[in-house]
Amino acid sequence: MYDVTIIGCGIVGSAIAYELSKKKLKCLVLEKENDVAMGATRANSAIIHAGYDPDEGTLMAKLNVRGAHLCEKLCEDLSVAYKRIGALVLAFSDEDVLTIKKLYKRGVSNGVEGLKILSHDETKAIEPNISDDVKASLYAPTTAIINPWEYALALAETAAINGVEIMLDSEVTDIKKMSGGFALTAGGKEFLTRYVINAAGAEADAVHDMALPHSFNIVPNKGAYYLLDKNEGARVNHVIFQCPSKAGKGVLVSPTIHGNLIVGPNSVDSEPDDTTAGADDLYFVRSVAVKSIPSIDFRANIRNFSGVRPNSDRDDFIIEAHGGFFDVAGIKSPGLASAPGIAEYVISLMEENGAVFRPKENYVSSRKQVRFNEMSHEERAVLVKDNPLYGRVICRCETVTEGEIIDAIRSPIMPRTVGAVKRRCGAGLGRCQGGFCEPRVLEILARELKVPIESLEKEKSGSYIVKRRED
């Protein structure tokens, strides 16, 4: 019998698994997809929000500020790329100026440090490509950018190294209350567990309903993006927002952690698995973004994608105890920024509800990754001398070597798809989007996993890439 079972391995499930892996207990994560971070965690703006946006007194406000505070050190310990570049919220009208003043006050009351209102000239001085129509801005220096799936993978891998079992392709389809715990059905097997944590993102209402009377609805909401080539990556220096509205934080323009430019998202209600980025979505994004930065060159687009927000019919995160069943649901933005704060909060809630956790000795608290493209020539020479596979560049856009691809394939949560390799080492993330390196990655993956190449998939189950010729 497991002590704790977490359903869903997005950033929330991963962060909770990471925190629980510091304790002496038997912990299981059941994830329905073939990799970690395949839901909202894979496709979002990748911003560690400072915490001025959520209403005072909400869980979102408290956990955003706490999560953002914990994030930098976590990223340093777990070798996750993180840059604190700051954000600007632009005001184009007198009404917007009132809004940014309100956000300033709210941020101060939420405990956000360093907020300032900047004049037009001060804004232009630090962000020269911004529209001349900007009257003023709110400056939030603690806002950061990150690689969201690397963050989730780092947390989940560290949890796995510390003994948490992570089972992929394991969709929970039934939950039965029994004496002293629950029986879960997933992937045709039964798992007995004392406590259940529901971190199932856009499907958290369906998972809740398997165990308890219906009490909330997830209202999935899609947001589409442009990802522009690195030659547009320096168009802005900060995360550039417009004033938020009921629909959310609006269309932003930001450098990404990899040096590209991200522009988006829009906001439309959708199905939980609708990740299409249609012409209407993209037209909207483009037309709103140029209001902030008129000079964006959208011809440099290398990819469009969409993510689905697990919004709910409540105004806050839903983090609740029901006996031994814990909902961690409706984790909309700023869920990525809040995740480590959410994990701490869930553990204290479990303790308040009778769980007793003892710390684990010999806990492994750090993770090291080889990133060839960030090394000096001297460091590269040492690495290649030791293992010549680090001298064979497979992805030329991002300078990812065969050595790094093999490290990724042998990592604690073994990747089974080309997309999963990409998320672990960056092969295929660049300008050509895998056009050149994907066949080589496929060969290496097939060789290392000792499986036929035609059995390999690009992303979700069924997305096969190669078909054997029938002569």
Ligand X SMILES: Cc1cc2nc3c(=O)[nH]c(=O)nc-3n(C[C@H](O)[C@H](O)[C@H](O)COP(=O)(O)OP(=O)(O)OC[C@H]3O[C@@H](n4cnc5c(N)ncnc54)[C@H](O)[C@@H]3O)c2cc1C
Binding stretches for ligand X (CB under 6 A):
7-13, 30-33, 38-41, 44-47, 49, 171-172, 199-203, 207, 223, 265, 307-310, 331-337
Q: Which one, 115 or 337, has the nearer CB to ligand X?
A: 337
Which of 49, 208, 238, 258 is catalytic? The answer is 49
Which parts of 164-316 fold into alpha helices (H)?
204-211, 279-292
Least separation in angstroms between residue 340's CB and ligand X is 11
d(CA 428, CA 436): 8
Find all residues with CB under 8 Å of 307, minimum gap 6, and list them. Answer: 40, 42, 43, 44, 222, 223, 225, 265, 275
The DSSP line for 87-143 is EEEEE-SHHHHHHHHHHHHHHHHHT--S-EEEEHHHHHHH-TTS-TT--EEEEETT-
252 with 311: CB under 8 angstroms?
no
Q: Which one, 41 or 162, has the nearer CB to ligand X?
A: 41
Least separation in angstroms between residue 230's CB and ligand X is 20
Report the residue closest to ligand X, judged by CB: 335
Question: Among candidates 94, 131, 92, 138, which has minimal Cα distance to 112?
Answer: 138
Dmax over Cα atoms in the chain, in whole Å? 71
d(CA 83, CA 72): 8
Helix (H, G, I), strand (E, B) or coil at 69: helix
Q: Which one, 21 or 333, has the nearer CB to ligand X?
A: 333
Report the sign of the C-alpha dihedral through residues 14, 16, 20, 22, in that order.
Answer: positive
Q: What are phi and psi of 96, to 5 degrees?
A: -65, -35
d(CA 356, CA 361): 16
Regarding beta strands 393-395 and 400-401, do their DSSP bridges make them parallel or antiparallel, or are they unpaired? antiparallel
Least separation in angstroms between residue 44's CB and ligand X is 3
Q: Which one, 41 or 401, has the nearer CB to ligand X?
A: 41
Question: Among candidates 147, 11, 143, 145, which has minimal Cα distance to 429?
Answer: 147
Active site residue 49: yes
Q: What is the DSSP letter of 218?
A: B
Least separation in angstroms between residue 223's CB and ligand X is 3
Q: Which one, 49 or 230, has the nearer CB to ligand X?
A: 49
Q: Which one, 200 or 395, has the nearer CB to ligand X?
A: 200
| Partners of 193 in the β-ladder | 2, 182
Instruction: Find the radius of gyration of the CA atoms of the chain.
Output: 22
Instruction: Give the angle 450-454-460 at the CA atoms, nearest 5°.
Output: 95
Q: Which one, 265 or 430, has the nearer CB to ligand X?
A: 265
d(CA 304, CA 232): 15
130 with 292: CB under 8 angstroms?
yes
Pull the structure tokens for residue 445: 């993956």
d(CA 152, CA 12): 8
| Partners of 355 in the β-ladder | none
Q: Which one, 49 or 66, has the nearer CB to ligand X?
A: 49
Least separation in angstroms between residue 87's CB and ligand X is 10
Q: Catalytic amino acids?
A: 49
